[in-house]
């Protein structure tokens, strides 16, 4: 059993959520939103007040509000969990069949197979249990050998690693 000390911080959580949001929403959404806003402005300047302009405007506003709300909800939830930890540290214990994370907020024992997807970023990995439910794993103190071991366990259990 390998034990690793993990260090969390507000900036780390904020970057992690930004990375999650950007990969989730992506540049395509941003490009489409800019195009649609430009289209709306053009049509309004041309004097178009049709139902089509109203519909497109409503869709654009709803899409932007939903994307911003998604970011805010995930950020607040993650910062709340960080606050409940007390000291922003956790211990990661690696075992053959599972891993365990313990902090001031409690501990979780997770079988490798429960992780469905792993998103790898520069400072963190996001371990997904389901579509919007994930765990942030800071990788600063994890050796390259342990990173390879962890990723191999996820891949063997069927998780998609990206």
Same domain, residue pair 13 and 64: yes
Q: What is the pLDDT of residue 109?
A: 93
Structure tokens at 3: 């034990």
Q: What is the pLDDT of residue 160?
A: 95
DSSP letter, residue 9: -
Domain hosting 49: range is 9-84
Same domain, residue pair 77 and 17: yes
Enumerate helices (H) and strands (E) in the chain, giving the number of each. Answer: 3, 8
Same domain, residue pair 56 and 21: yes
Q: What is the pLDDT of residue 78?
A: 94
The answer to whether 124 touches 136, Cβ cutoff 8 Å, is: yes
Q: Which of 84, 108, 139 is the last residue of a domain?
A: 84
Same domain, residue pair 67 and 92: no
Nearest Cα neighbor of 19 from 123, 156, 160, 127 is 123
Q: Return the CATH number at 134.
A: 2.30.29.30
DSSP letter, residue 116: -
Nearest Cα neighbor of 114 from 161, 155, 159 is 159
Q: What is the pLDDT of residue 132?
A: 76
Q: Please compute, for residue 13, the number of CA atoms within 13 A of its CA located in the half-sphere on the CB side.
A: 22
Q: Which of 46, 63, 84 is the last residue of a domain?
A: 84
The answer to whether 2 touches 52, Cβ cutoff 8 Å, is: no
Same domain, residue pair 91 and 72: no
Q: What is the pLDDT of residue 140?
A: 94
Q: How far apart are CA 92 and CA 147, in angstroms?
A: 12
Same domain, residue pair 46 and 30: yes
Q: Which of 58, 84, 110 is the last residue of a domain?
A: 84
Can you list the residues of the chain whose pLDDT is less than 70?
Answer: 1
Same domain, residue pair 71 and 17: yes
Q: What order do you get walking across the sheet with 134-138 strand by strand?
A: 134-138, 124-128, 117-120, 160-161
Same domain, residue pair 99 and 131: yes
Domain count, the chain: 2
């Amino acid at each position: 059993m390998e034990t690793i000390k993990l260090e969390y911080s507000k900036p780390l959580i904020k970057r992690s959520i930004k990375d999650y949001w950007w990969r989730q929403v992506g540049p395509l959404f941003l490009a489409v939103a800019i195009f649609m806003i430009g289209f709306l402005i053009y049509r309004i300047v041309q004097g178009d007040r049709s139902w089509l302009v109203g519909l497109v405007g409503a869709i654009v506003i709803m899409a932007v509000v939903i994307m911003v709300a998604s970011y805010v909800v995930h950020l607040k939830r993650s910062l709340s969990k960080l606050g409940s930890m007390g000291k922003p540290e956790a211990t990661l214990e690696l075992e053959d069949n599972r891993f365990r994370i313990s902090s001031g907020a409690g501990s979780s024992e997770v079988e490798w197979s429960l992780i469905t997807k792993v998103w790898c970023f520069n400072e963190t990995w996001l371990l997904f249990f389901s579509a919007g439910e994930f765990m942030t794993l800071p990788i600063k103190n994890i050796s390259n050998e342990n990173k390879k071991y962890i990723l191999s366990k996820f891949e063997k259990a069927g998780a998609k690693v990206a």
